[in-house]
Chain A
């Protein structure tokens, strides 16, 4: 009996240790990024163009590139994902056809990001002739995050109680009126939460934009959506691995990583706040 309790204590400590590992992993990561990048952050760093082979100056074009890429991606992915989910939850009748769509969404979610890059290169850059550009990259990222948006939107729609739909239909609303006026308003916060999280993933994604339009260095901001662009994740990669003087560019890289992390974590935070706010507001 005694040995058994000792054994249990050891196992419990091991399990606790594995939980501790997660905390340590995040703490170490954040510690190094913060200590390396915090000194670099200044107004000039955020609003100036890089100079001197990117060893000095700021990261303004990378920030602007990432932000405009995200806005474009959202404009493409949001309507596609939300309407797709509305079809799947509100309209689709169970059967082989709907199953095929579900299967496609599911498989799309499992495709590696680099394969999306290959699709973007083949379809948007070469076949449709968009060239290496913001719009090619945005379409590629939009397709990549589409399954996440569809999945979270479906979940949000399913969470709306059935009797709201039945009430509207019983009063003579058509299917679309029911969906638009009575289901969507309640599902929208959930949809937004999922979409913001998906978009934050797109913001940090590097592999697909390597092939679809991210540039190593540009002296100007992209003049149109058909122009190449600089983006934070791509610049982090190139500056860390291919810069002519790796040591001298390192502070810039740390600064860029910190800014990217802040953007991504900020979006996560917004998503969580939106979720909690509406979770309290709507209780069925």
Chain B
């Protein structure tokens, strides 16, 4: 092989290209790790700022106490039960409203609606999903609460029911779009086999399509629930925020998210109260983590099936 300057240059050039390629690979690996780093940072900072509470405050009272009164000068109490119950009831209310409407609408979109209606409904659902939560919160605060007040004669103008209804509207886009995907991914042959056996369309939907898509629909609902549990502004503006234990949906309630948002602005850095809010953050993180994990599992099972 003849060896001259130009082949040498080419050789070098190739070498540089390869070195560059390897360097870029390393850099990209660094970028790839960002998500891992951030999830670890979330955990670390929740623990750094939250754990001191359990050394300073009463850890047992935190989980079992039914009084949240951190600003009391003599005996501050940090029981999160009222907020856990508030989050639970408001979310439950939202589920009761959103699940039937959401599943109904997704069946309608996937199986019944005329393609033209479908093409108009889909962007509407996308717009609903894009509206900021503070706008929903304002609507609940100013308009929805007045309606609820008139219909139910509630004692407090802002109450859990208002929050539930507003949360349900916010959950609907998630539930509908994910359930619709699930229903659409049911194999066509299954439907056709059922219709060929003489079943009506509704019997096919009820007896074949929905059962086949059930795990996908369930995952959609659970993901909607996770969103509702973590939602802050809407419940903050709609539910009245009284940290008391009550099972009356027409009374004022406070959620975990709202507590953090309301009180974080007023606490001195590093106080027990400050750390207690991060401790609520830990609980909230744990709950949403578990709920998302369950949704993930159910979704995986659905995907494996088809």
Contact = CB atoms under 8 A, between A and B. Distances in A.
Interface of A: 4, 7-8, 11-12, 14-19, 21-23, 25-26, 29, 32-33, 79-80, 83-84, 86-88, 91-92, 100-101, 104-108, 110-119, 121-123, 126-127, 143, 146-147, 150, 174-177, 197, 200-201, 203-207, 210-211, 233, 236-237, 240-241, 250, 253, 257, 260-261, 264-265, 268, 272
B200 A8 contact: yes
A207 B284 CA distance: 14
* A11, A17, A118, A150, most chain B CB atoms within 10 A: A118
A237 B284 contact: no
Nearest to A180: B24
Interface string B174-189: 0010000000000000
B65 to A, nearest CB: 22
A253 B289 CA distance: 35
A32 B278 CA distance: 37
B230 A112 contact: yes
Interface string B116-128: 0100010111111
Nearest to A80: B34
Contact of B233 (A12, A237, A261): A237
Nearest to B296: A106
B51 interface: no
30 contacts: A7-B202, A11-B202, A15-B104, A15-B107, A22-B176, A84-B31, A84-B32, A86-B31, A91-B28, A107-B292, A110-B230, A110-B291, A111-B285, A112-B257, A113-B230, A113-B232, A114-B257, A114-B261, A115-B42, A119-B41, A119-B42, A175-B21, A201-B130, A206-B133, A206-B233, A207-B233, A211-B264, A240-B138, A240-B142, A250-B142
B32 A112 contact: no
Contact of B32 (A87, A123, A204, A211): A87
Given A26-B127, A29-B139, A114-B281, A206 B132 contact: yes
Contact of B134 (A11, A112, A114, A206): A206
B25 to A, nearest CB: 6
A114 B32 contact: no
B50 to A, nearest CB: 8
- The 4 A-B pairs at the shortest CB distance, nearest first, are namely A204-B132, A112-B230, A87-B32, A18-B104
A101 B36 contact: yes
A87 B35 contact: no
Interface in B230-271: 230-233, 236-237, 257, 260-261, 264-265, 269
Given A113-B230, A177-B21, 14 more contacts: A8-B202, A19-B121, A25-B172, A87-B32, A108-B39, A113-B232, A115-B230, A174-B20, A174-B21, A175-B25, A204-B131, A205-B133, A206-B133, A207-B133
B24 to A, nearest CB: 5
Given A12-B202, A146-B38, A112 B131 contact: no
B233 A108 contact: no
B109 interface: yes
B100 interface: yes
B132 A241 contact: no
Nearest to A4: B200
Contacts of B285: 111-112, 115
Contact of B25 (A107, A176, A177): A176
B150 to A, nearest CB: 15
B21 A176 contact: yes
* A14, A25, A206, most chain B CB atoms within 10 A: A206
B31 A115 contact: no
Contacts of B35: 84, 101, 104-105, 108, 146-147, 150
Contacts of B101: 18, 21-22
Contacts of A16: 108, 112
A107 B107 CA distance: 29
Contacts of B112: 12, 15-16
Contacts of A150: 35
Interface string B54-73: 00000000000000000000
A115 B281 contact: yes
Contacts of A113: 230, 232
A233 B232 CA distance: 13
A122 B48 CA distance: 9
A113 B133 CA distance: 11
Contact of B39 (A4, A104, A121): A104
Interface string B16-34: 0110110011011101111
A87 B31 contact: yes
A279 B300 CA distance: 29
Contacts of A26: 124, 127-128
B137 interface: yes
B217 interface: no
A41 to B, nearest CB: 16
Contacts of A211: 261, 264-265
A124 to B, nearest CB: 10
Contact of A123 (B20, B45, B108): B45
A206 B232 contact: yes
A284 to B, nearest CB: 22
A21 B265 CA distance: 38
Contacts of B80: none
Given A19-B121, A22-B128, A23-B124, A119 B45 contact: yes
